[in-house]
Structure 1
């Protein structure tokens, strides 16, 4: 067949177009295939990520579930113990004899039956979880919990490190849990529990313990103390909680000075307080605190409508009489003796020196003998060194720092932030030594303090007992080393120190070169002429 040139040209164009279409189709197919591959890859990647995320979520949920299950099992185990046979009278008698416990009750009150097991506590199960850290109640807890949970006034006297914070903390929280807070208003304030402490650090420590236990019940605590701005404390008092809006501030833990300051500004209403605690009560009622304490207590509910608890390691006669003016027929639990007694788990060594000039050398020698390394961060080798004056504490700190030791300081010349930082670094083990004045002598629970060194003897034998009580806490054993020169006020305390040593099974023959007389205990404000039968009067404030 014959074809013209035009027809051939048209056929070539059609063929070329067809080839182009086929080529485009192949290209499109390839692109579609690549797109599908990309989409499939993305989908697979997303699936893997979602799978991993799902596994992580499952792991987190599983861990959370395991924690809840363990807590639930712990509560069930504790609850199941309550089905055990209650302690027999013979067991209770043996417990009281073993720990040398004396319980004084009013003639009209029924005798106290101690709680020898945590399961005996009539408290909500979620609150029982605190007991997981302990084998059994401490003696002061076992004997003060029953009357405190019944709403009676209590005085607890026990050696340092015996668990007094939980002795009043558990009854306080149990009372708050059983009575929901009223809506906040001036006519019905939410603050119903007040804990007074002599030092800022002790107030903060108690606040943190109560806050941790109370959060699960929506109960918040506020720490009120000086040396820091008031703004944060004011917000907490007004129930302005940033972290958790469900919390209601129902507990104040504070020092008298800042508390009075806030009260005078109208920022702190104590008219609803029906549960009052004086921690380290012997100091709160002596050494110049008494007038402040009376003023604060007068703003709480009347004595007959208020439950008042007092705890201390020492209980002098003058303070004992004064405490009676704030309480209604209190149950008094004494673990050991009403007289001054040291922690029985602390080995006491007293070195009598001719003068103060050799103290630095003796201190360095003892640090080496105790095996304390200069840059030590070992949590079990911490040593607390007590000085009498702020300038002395600062000088000793500088000397130790020059010798290459990792050391901190805690005294009144430091800002509150620096004090808290020094205490936290010592607790965490970042610094192995802490030089402090008596602001650190009372109540502070610093774990694993291996030894206490008294560089200078304190002004009273009570402070000596509180100082050495910073070691040997929570059932552990500790060691105290004391430098005694007989200078200034020390000479008159030799007799009392010798008695404390003898009562604890220790001796220091070199003390006998000083007078062994023991002075009668006197009140810090009234001396030996203190009387408790004089009614307290309120002073009229004169405004100029």
Structure 2
């Protein structure tokens, strides 16, 4: 096997075969049309195949899932015994996506995966765990629930632990639960920690969980890709909904993700847009798991052209074709802006982002421009056309407000009568709700 340095510096074009991957994996990569390894894969896979722990610093969309999945699957080919690897992910959607990639890459090997996340029945998950899957992909809270409550389930035979999107895991306060999980797994294991940023919290987690790791860093600077055209649209706060409707109308043939700061706005705007005739579907943390997966599936398949989402959808999710990202609310952190707009202009394709800027947002937009190192262009708008939309949008807004109140009242009555409902990874109730995205709680909570 060539050394990692030789693999990275050879003058010959680097291929997956030159990384010394086995034939079953090369066949799967060929079927998936993965022709050339990405930089994170080139840098990480040779070290991983030599048995080293890995710290990978790379942005979403860089190919890091395959960077940790391929070495795990190659080792599994040699030792196909019991529960082999556990991957911790910050969100349920990312967990399902990681599992799908493991199954696709391990298709010639018959790899078995189990996804263990909140919002799904514990009993069914316990049955899946009893079937001894090779790979468990989980959110930390639900995995810990099973470790404490599911008879016969443990991680004592684990050979690999992966902490994916580690900065996000810690931002979501999973640190104490991860500490509990670390105490119940073998010290003799390989550990891969992947993160978009190396914060002090991530560095502390690294010291606690990795042994003599190799650090692989693809990009140290947060930046947007050159194929992304970035615009802003200035408006009074009171007309924000009308300007959003104007954009949805003028971009009607495009696939669009609209990002909001709160669950309430994601639910409210999806109703407004659907009332106005736009095929919109919401995605936020107070939908049931089946609805969240259903919303993603409809958007990916083109059944719905507009996805109205909280930052739940801003990182990790691979949605191949998104033409436009609209920031209904400006994120307060510049890195969140970069994650959001990174949903479009992926893999060398072109894309657009449009950020709605009110009189209260000027300082935030200037801060983002400073971080990305470029000035956004003004998106052209027709003030008269926006004025014509205002009355219809206001009426749709009133209908949305009434529907939210009515659904919220119905859900409260249902719970009083002892209706169903589960808890999600953060301990919040996760009742089933309608496709329009009516949240159980009416407060303006985040995702």
Pick the TM interval, shorter chain.
0.7 to 0.9
Deviations 1:427-460 (A, max 9, x none): 1111111101111111111111111111112343
Native 8 Å contact 1:397 1:409 kept in 2: yes
The whole-number CA distance in structure 2 between the counterparts of 1:261 and 1:143 is: 35
Instruction: Say whether 1:435 aligns with 2:319.
Output: no
Q: Which residue of 2 aligns with 1:278?
A: 163
Secondary structure at 1:388's aligned position in 2?
Answer: coil
Deviations 1:103-150 (A, max 9, x none): xxxxxxxxxxxx821111222201112332133111111111111111
Matches within 5 A, 1:282-321: 282-302=167-187, 305-321=188-204
* 1:192 CA drift (Å): 2.2
Larger Rg: 1
Native 8 Å contact 2:163 2:194 kept in 1: yes
Q: Which residue of 1 aligns with 2:88?
A: 196
Q: Which residue of 2 aligns with 1:261?
A: 145
- TM-score w.r.t. the length of structure 1 is 0.64
* 1:494 CA drift (Å): 5.0
The whole-number CA distance in structure 2 between the counterparts of 1:149 and 1:352 is: 52
Q: Which residue of 2 aligns with 1:329?
A: 212
Instruction: Say whether 1:227 aligns with 2:100.
Output: no
Matches within 5 A, 1:127-206: 127-132=25-30, 133-181=33-81, 190-206=82-98
Native 8 Å contact 2:314 2:339 kept in 1: yes
2:368 to 497, 510, 513: 497
Q: Which residue of 2 aligns with 1:65?
A: none
The whole-number CA distance in structure 2 between the counterparts of 1:199 and 1:87 is: 34
**Structure 2: 5+ residue runs without aligned partners?**
379-447
Instruction: Say whether 1:125 aligns with 2:19.
Output: no
Aligned CA distance change for structure 1 residues 316 and 345 (closer, same or farther; 3 Å): farther
Secondary structure at 1:472's aligned position in 2?
Answer: coil
Deviations 1:71-112 (A, max 9, x none): xxxxxxxxxxx9xxx8794738xxxxxxxxxxxxxxxxxxxx
2:228 to 324, 332, 346: 346
The whole-number CA distance in structure 2 between the counterparts of 1:509 and 1:318 is: 36
The whole-number CA distance in structure 2 between the counterparts of 1:214 and 1:194 is: 15
Q: Which residue of 1 aligns with 2:435?
A: none
The whole-number CA distance in structure 2 between the counterparts of 1:413 and 1:266 is: 26
* 1:224 CA drift (Å): 0.4
Instruction: Say whether 1:358 aligns with 2:243.
Output: no
The whole-number CA distance in structure 2 between the counterparts of 1:358 and 1:218 is: 55
Secondary structure at 1:152's aligned position in 2?
Answer: coil
Aligned CA distance change for structure 1 residues 328 and 413 (closer, same or farther; 3 Å): same
Return structure 1 stretches of 4+ with deviation > 4 angstroms. 86-90, 490-496
Secondary structure at 2:194's aligned position in 1?
Answer: strand
Aligned CA distance change for structure 1 residues 219 and 88 (closer, same or farther; 3 Å): closer
Looking at both structures, which has the greater relative contact order when contacts are Cα pairs under 8 Å and sequence separation is at least 6? 2
Secondary structure at 1:324's aligned position in 2?
Answer: helix
**Structure 1: 5+ residue runs without aligned partners?**
1-81, 93-114, 182-189, 240-247, 374-380, 511-544
Native 8 Å contact 2:99 2:113 kept in 1: yes
Q: How many matched pairs?
A: 371
Aligned CA distance change for structure 1 residues 283 and 494 (closer, same or farther; 3 Å): same
Native 8 Å contact 1:276 1:306 kept in 2: yes
Native 8 Å contact 2:7 2:42 kept in 1: no
Secondary structure at 1:348's aligned position in 2?
Answer: strand
Q: Which residue of 2 aligns with 1:469?
A: 342
Aligned CA distance change for structure 1 residues 316 and 222 (closer, same or farther; 3 Å): same
* 1:486 CA drift (Å): 6.9
Deviations 1:196-227 (A, max 9, x none): 11111110111111123324323201000011
Deviations 1:46-77 (A, max 9, x none): xxxxxxxxxxxxxxxxxxxxxxxxxxxxxxxx
Deviations 1:467-526 (A, max 9, x none): 112112233222211224475xx6775564133221xxx21499xxxxxxxxxxxxxxxx
Q: Which residue of 1 aligns with 2:272?
A: 399
Aligned CA distance change for structure 1 residues 135 and 123 (closer, same or farther; 3 Å): closer
RMSD: 2.5
The whole-number CA distance in structure 2 between the counterparts of 1:235 and 1:135 is: 37
Secondary structure at 1:135's aligned position in 2?
Answer: coil
The whole-number CA distance in structure 1 between the counterparts of 2:9 and 2:110 is: 39
Secondary structure at 2:51's aligned position in 1?
Answer: coil
The whole-number CA distance in structure 2 between the counterparts of 1:421 and 1:335 is: 33
Aligned CA distance change for structure 1 residues 336 and 409 (closer, same or farther; 3 Å): same
